[in-house]
Structure formats: C-alpha cells, structure tokens
Chains A and B, each alone.
Chain A
Amino acid sequence: MEGQEQLMLVMSNITKRFPGIVANDHVNFALRKGEIHTLLGENGAGKSTLMNVLDGIYYPDEGEIVIEGKRVDLRSPLDSMKHGIGMIHQNFMLVDSLSVIENVILGLESQGFYIDKKSVADRIEAIARKYNFRVDPYAKIWQLSVGEQQRVEIIKTLFKGARILILDEPTAVLTPQESEELFGILREMKSEGKSIIFISHKLNEVMSVSDRVTVLRKGLLVGTVDTASVTERELAKMMIGRDVLFRLERKEIEQGREVLKVEDAQAHNDRGIMALNKLSISVHGGEIMGVAGVAGNGQVELAECITGLRHLVSGHVTVEGIDVTNATPCTLASAGVNYIPADRLGVGLVPNLSTVDNAMLRKYRQKPMCRGTFIDYGAACTYADGLIEKFDIAVPLRNAPIKVLSGGNMQKLLLAREIAENPRLLIAEHPTRGLDVGATEFVRKTLLEERDNGVAVLLISEDLDEILMVADRVAVMYEGRIVGIVDTHHVDIAQIGLMMAGAVGAKA
C-alpha cells in the first residue's frame, strides 16, 4: 500500500453504470502530492467517466472518494471546486465573446456586485508569471489561439484555488510545439506541489511527462505503474489487452480486383484543420480492410470523403477504376458505394420518419417506389417488409417513427437498406457500437457474408478486437495517414497499439 506516501486523493471501488454498460467497474485510483499521473486507455475505457465522477458531474453508484484523508461527497462541479479539484475539459468551457477576466471570474461566488477588474487582472498575470507564460487578461476569448484558450482554462482552475488539476486529452487540440509548452507549464505546477491528472492515449507524451500511469480497459482497472519502470510496448499491451482472440469462421476466398483506391487524399475536418494528410489506401473485392486508430485521427473524414459527404482538397478516389473524387452521393450510389455511418440517427436514418420512409431513403428514385412525380407507398411498404423479414428486424409498427426501435434493430435496418443495394464497396463505421451481443454478432456475420460475396468492405472501428475478429488486413491510422498495414492472420497486438499511439511509424 501507499499509506506512507503523501496521498492527495484516493478513489476506491468507484463503480458507475449507464444503461447497458458499466463504465467504471470497481476502479481504484490514487494520486500523490506533486505528481503528474496519466490515465491511459482506449476510447470507452472509462477514463472520462472516472474523471467526471471526480469533477462532480457524475455521482458514482458505488465507491468513495477521499481527499487529503477526508471522505468527500462530490455532487456538483461546485463541490469539487471547493475541494480543490479543477477539470480542463477537451471542449473548453469558455464564453467566446467575453474577456479573459470575465471568463475567469464566471461562477465565482466571492465576487460582489461590483467587479474589480484591475485586481483580477493582476492576479491573472501573477499566476501566469509564476508558471512562465503570458496571457492578456483583457483579450476576448475569440481572439486567442486554441493553445492560449487552454491556458485560460488552466488559469481559471488555479484562480479558483485548484490543487488537483485534471486535463482531459489536452494535447488533442495542440500543435507539437504548443504541447511542449504545455508540458513545461505542467512540470512547473508539479514543482509547486500541485497534483495533475493527465488523460491521454499518446504513449510518447505519457512517457515524457508523467511520473506514474494508471491503465483502464473496458471500465476495469488494469494497473498502476511507475513510468520509469515500463516501456511503451508494455503500456500498449496493458492498454489493449492480451487476450487470445477468437476469429469468426470465414471462407477462404480468392481476393478480387481492386475496388477502392484512395491516393494522397487531403481534407479538412469541421473546424478547418487538415484531417487527412496525403492518405492512401486500397481495398480489394472479397476483403475486409479494418481501419484502426484512436478517435479523431481522420477516420470519420476518410469515410465521408469516400461517400461524397466531405470535399477533398486534393488527391483522388476511384471505385472500380472510375474516378469518383468529390462526386455527389447520388453518383456514388450508382457506383455501388454504400455507407453505414457511426452516427446512425444523425446521418444514416431519419429518427422521426417511419420504417417505410427510412427503408426507401436511397431507393425512392427508382422503380417500383418511384412513379414519376409520385411515390408508390404500397410498393415502398412491400420493399420495407422484405427487408424486415430478410433481416429479422423487430418493428412493432412500420409506420411509427423509427426512433422507437432499439439500437440493434435500427442498425439492422440500416445494414439491410445498404446491403439491399448490392454494394461494390461497403464502408462500415463503428457498426457495432452500443449494440448488444446478439446484434453485434449479427452485424459482424453480415459483414463477413458481404466479403464472401466479393464486396470490398472498409471497416472503421475503435474496437481493435472487432477488427482482428473480422478483418483480413488492418490499416492503422494516426494523424490523418495510414502508418502501417498488418495482416490480421499473424498479428502483433502490441505493435498495433504502438502504431495507434503514434510511437511507431512504419510497418514492422
């Protein structure tokens, strides 16, 4: 035990359940005074949940939190703040049109009716000076760069007297130079005796900045280790797990010709930052190409570029030899490109419309549904019934809004609709996320069937187990490009983990 050490915070047996999932399953976590402690894990490992519990956003179902030897009950971020906990979220909680000063004092109870801006500004500058950075207290937030905004967030927590700082993937939005500066600030704060929890899945950062690492996987605690005593490779293994994987039955089929070819693709994300950096990939008929990677490394943008929902800045996309670069979704549909988007209800389906309306979404322009200007709803119902029967979708009322269906049945309908179009290329993005075991297996089997029928399948998933289970090859994405392609028959999981975390560039 660590009883002798100066413990700042102990979280023991924290359990937090959400409908259908245990996000934290009896997790223990201890933070020393004056240390930088990384929380490491894949997406969905439960890192954010644990920290939201500490920040008072979620209240745990079980477990207790002890700060400096005293048991505390954290029911709101305000409670946490009073106990010296400050969290810097991935999406900054700043008001763009207000100044730094106004943002810093926002929500502070100690402020009276009249705000003494001068003294607040002095204190902000004093804090900044202490940690060797600069910030203009009178600047408006929208005038600041992302890195500067992050510093305002840090000042905000320090101003409120935080002794425990939680940073949720702080480098995700920063350039490498900004990240280095941030690490400098963190080390400075550490020497001041502050305790810092750093959430990340970039191994090189973890190794360079933190003293200890706690690894979570699928809601469970894997272990806590001293950074000095482990290698990146060992951490990657802890993060991903070393379970022997079971591969689904598959026919050995001859690989077809090249269906999808993406060359040097470049595209922006929604914030206008380059998300694809000269990415190239090719997928053949009769193969499932898995795309592994930590969320936010360009996977979504890749799928959207191929399906015509996002504009390519440069590069080419061809499907069966035909150039479909920046083609409309209509053209791509006739080229045989089908898409199972991650955001089922946001992109794939229309929640408030009926099963029938949703089933014909991509087919309403074709016979027999389309009769000139009119839609033959009788034919549409027949068509929907066909899908419902073939895929065994539980639909209580086919004219009721689709949002009443369960997640699994929605996904089945989406899958049925897309496969019914006889795709040449099927792009499936996190196709089993949020589904129960039965539905998950159904989706995976369907993808394999399509592969056996000679369809090229691009499977984008954060669940590495899933990719290794169904894919023939796996391409690892990191910062907008494919850093390596590995055959899933003889795979080294630790190797993939290292590539996902950006620690290894090329194929082994």
Chain B
Amino acid sequence: MLRFEKRDKTPVQLRVLVPICSVLLGLFMGSVVMLFARVNPLRAYGAIIKGAFGSAYTFSETLVIAVPLILISAGLCLVYRMKFFNIGAKGQYIIGAICGSYLALFGPATMSRPLLLTLMMVLGTLGGALWAIIPALLKVYWNVNEVIATLLLNYIASYILWFFMYGTWGTRGFPLSKNFALNAQLPRILPSPSRLHIGLFFGLAAAVIVWIIIRKTRFGYEARVLGENERAARYAGINVFKTVIIAAVISGGLAGLAGIAHTSAVLRVLQLEINSDYGYTAIIAAWLAGLDPLVAVGISVLLAALEAGGYQIQIVMRVPFGIVGVIESSILFCLLAGEIVTHYRVTLTRRLAA
C-alpha cells in the first residue's frame, strides 16, 4: 500500500531531479511513439538536434520560435507566482496579432515606419492585455475559475480570427490577409534567409524586467504574498483587486506583443495559422523554469529547438510533427505529477493484517 506523508520541506535534489526526469520521461514517451512509426528514436533525436542547432541558419530559426515563447513565459512566471493560472496566452496572442494587424492592414499608408511599428506593437500589447483583463475581472468580482475562463477565451479568440479571415480581411476568398507593407514589417536582424527579428530584444528585455518586478519591486512582493496566502495579503493591506488586474495585464500584454511581433516580422501576413499554440508551449517553459523568467529564456530556447527540429524530422524522416506535441505534453504531465513527490514523501508499506 502506498502512503503519502506531507513534507515539511522539499529537498533541493528533488527540485532539480523532477524537471530533469520529466524531460527524460517526455523524450521516452516520444521514443515509444516513434518505435510504433518504425523510426529509430536515437536517429530521430539526432536529427532534431541537427535540425535545431546544426547550422547558424537553423539555430536562428530556433530562436525565431523562442522569441514568442520567451515573451509569453515571462508574463506567465509572474501570474503563476500569484497563483492566477492563466492558460489563455493562446487567445491573448491571437487578439494581440489581430489588433496590431489592423493597423498594418488599414492604417494610414503615409505613416513613418518607426511610428507605425511602435503603434502596432502597442496596440497588440493592449489587445492581449484586454483579453487577459476579462478573466481577471471575472475572478476578482465573482470568483470565476480563471483556468476555465482563459481556456474558453482561447476558442473565442480563435473564432474571432476565423471571422476576420473568412470575412472582410481575407483576400479573394482565401483566409489570408494581404501582405503587410514593408513599413509594417518588424525588422529582421540577420541576412536572409534567417527570419530572426528584433522581437528577440523585446523578449530578453521582458524577461529581465519581469525578473526585476518579481525580485525587486513592491508589486512583485505583493503578487508573491497574494499567491501564497490571500488572507495574510489582506491583513498586510494588499489591494487584491489591483494586484490581480495588473499582473493579468502584464501577462496578457506580453502574449499579445508576442502575437503581433511574430505576425509582423516572421509571417508578414495575417492568416488562420499564426502559431498561436506557442501560448501553450510557453506554459511548459514557465513551469520547467520554476517560474523564473531568466531561466525561462533558456528553457524557451530548448523547447523551440524541439519544435524547429520537429519540423526537420517531419521533412527528412517522415515522422509526423505531432510527435513534438506528444513529447511536450508528456514533459508537462510528468512535471505536474512530480509535484506529488516534491510535496509528499511516498513510502511503500505492507498492509496491516486485519
């Protein structure tokens, strides 16, 4: 019979061991699926590594994927510390992309490039923030579970995108906007064909700023206290309403910024598929990083490598890209299951004879 005893404190080894084992188990699950597809997992993982880091170009493509992950996971580190479980980064990303694209597609053509791009980024950030304020308000006013609210808002956001793509924003019946004008394209920083763009600097700046917010500011302290113990927070005089809203705005805003930056710099067109699933991948990045935004930068790059390499093995080895999803989900699954071991001491006991 298994017995669970609550731990007073978590040994340091476990804090490191659980994420590592989670990743290994995730890769193992991926291997099992690959064996079913009659592919040698070692060769496949080799191909993934090569596809992600094999050349300067492939590495820059990895970073292209890492940028939105870094931006989103930075915001998630903040709200998750407050125990506001925003899993709606996908929706916030989409709304951010739509809002910013509006200006790219219908803004005044005469506007200077820096001004237009700045306004697009601001509008995208505001769009994402708005999409995150909704569940935050529902939470503070009516105690609506934010997991469900944010998850459902993802669907609404997806369908709003569909609405525009199949409606007035599409071109010649295709669910695809016209191409962004040069003025509306966020600059890339490496020579073609690399698509790495200045959003990378947004991401690094966001990670540093959120790290400072969490570690150094009054607001970060309030968010941490609130996340751990709401009653103590109230006794300390912390304004629960204000804290939840601001944190949600930061998290949603960064997701929105990720959406418009990726759309404007990489895709240069608004379409149905704008890689909004980064909103889910970033959740894994934030948790694997132990909710530290600086660590999340590194984790984001690794997860991006998995994705970039995943595209490669799809092309080269004909392994379906879905395998990446299997690996990522298994990692998160093991990570969450690992909480049991970090919070409880599990012992095997023999059942007492009656």
Contacts and interface: CB of A to CB of B under 8 A. Distances in A.
Contact of B216 (A307, A328, A362, A375): A375
B193 interface: no
B56 interface: no
Contact of B235 (A339, A374, A403, A404): A339
A401 interface: yes
B9 A403 contact: yes
Contacts of A400: 9
Given A329-B237, A347-B235, A349-B232, A403 B219 contact: no
A307 B237 contact: no
A333 interface: yes
Interface in B223-246: 224-225, 228-229, 231-232, 234-237
A370 B218 contact: yes
Nearest to B229: A350
Interface of B: 8-9, 215-219, 221, 224-225, 228-229, 231-232, 234-237, 352, 354
B232 A350 contact: yes
Nearest to B216: A374
A309 B233 CA distance: 11
B219 A361 contact: no
Given A349-B232, A357-B221, A373-B219, A330 B237 contact: yes
A375 B218 contact: yes
Contacts of A333: 237
Contact of B234 (A329, A345, A365): A329
A403 B8 contact: yes
19 contacts: A309-B231, A309-B234, A309-B235, A339-B235, A343-B231, A346-B232, A347-B231, A347-B235, A348-B232, A351-B229, A353-B228, A357-B221, A361-B232, A361-B235, A365-B218, A365-B237, A374-B217, A375-B217, A375-B218
A382 interface: no
Interface string A51-95: 000000000000000000000010100000000000000000000
Contacts of A328: 237
Contacts of B352: 75
B77 to A, nearest CB: 16
Contacts of B232: 346-350, 361
A352 interface: yes
Given A349-B229, A353-B228, A357-B221, 9 more contacts: A75-B354, A307-B235, A309-B234, A347-B235, A348-B235, A357-B225, A361-B236, A364-B218, A374-B216
B171 to A, nearest CB: 47
Contacts of A183: none
Interface in A332-368: 333, 339, 341, 343, 345-353, 357, 361-362, 364-365
Contact of A404 (B8, B217, B219, B225): B8
Contacts of B217: 373-375
A391 interface: no
Nearest to B10: A401
A349 B235 CA distance: 10
Contacts of B219: 373
Contacts of B228: 350-353
Enumerate the 10 nearest inter-chain pairs by beta-carbon distance, A residue then B residue, closest first: A330-B237, A350-B229, A350-B228, A347-B231, A329-B237, A361-B236, A352-B228, A404-B9, A350-B232, A373-B217
A317 B232 CA distance: 22
Contacts of A401: 9
Interface residues of A, number: 34
A377 interface: yes
A362 B352 CA distance: 50
A401 B231 CA distance: 18
A328 B352 CA distance: 54
A98 to B, nearest CB: 23
A398 to B, nearest CB: 15
Nearest to A362: B236
Given A357-B221, A365-B218, A346 B229 contact: yes
A400 B10 CA distance: 11
B204 to A, nearest CB: 21
Interface in A364-415: 364-365, 370, 373-375, 377, 400-401, 403-404
* B225, B228, B229 — most chain A CB neighbours (10 Å): B229
A339 B237 CA distance: 13
Nearest to A376: B216
A367 B81 CA distance: 26
A384 to B, nearest CB: 14
B216 A329 contact: no
Contacts of A329: 234-237
B225 A353 contact: yes
Contacts of B218: 364-365, 370, 373-375
A348 B354 CA distance: 44
* B219, B231, B354 — most chain A CB neighbours (10 Å): B231
A328 B234 CA distance: 9
A347 B218 CA distance: 20
A307 B9 CA distance: 31
A401 B8 CA distance: 10
A178 B352 CA distance: 43
B231 A364 contact: no
A357 B221 CA distance: 8
A375 B229 contact: no
A345 B6 CA distance: 16
Interface in A216-263: none
B9 A346 contact: no
Nearest to A307: B235
Interface in A249-285: none
Nearest to B354: A75
Contacts of B237: 328-330, 333, 362, 365
Contacts of A373: 217-219
Nearest to A370: B218
Contacts of B216: 374-375, 377
Interface in A178-226: none
B156 to A, nearest CB: 30
Contacts of A353: 224-225, 228
Contacts of A349: 229, 232
Nearest to B220: A375
Contact of B231 (A346, A357, A403): A346
A89 B166 CA distance: 61
A403 B225 CA distance: 14
Contact of B225 (A309, A341, A361, A374): A361
Interface in A17-57: none
A400 B225 CA distance: 15
A353 B232 CA distance: 12
A355 to B, nearest CB: 14
Contacts of A362: 235-237
* B221, B228, B234, B352 — most chain A CB neighbours (10 Å): B221
Contacts of B224: 353, 357
Nearest to A353: B228
Nearest to A346: B231
* B218, B235, B354 — most chain A CB neighbours (10 Å): B235
A361 to B, nearest CB: 5
Contacts of A361: 225, 232, 235-236
* B216, B225, B232 — most chain A CB neighbours (10 Å): B232
A347 B233 CA distance: 8
Nearest to A401: B9
Nearest to B233: A350
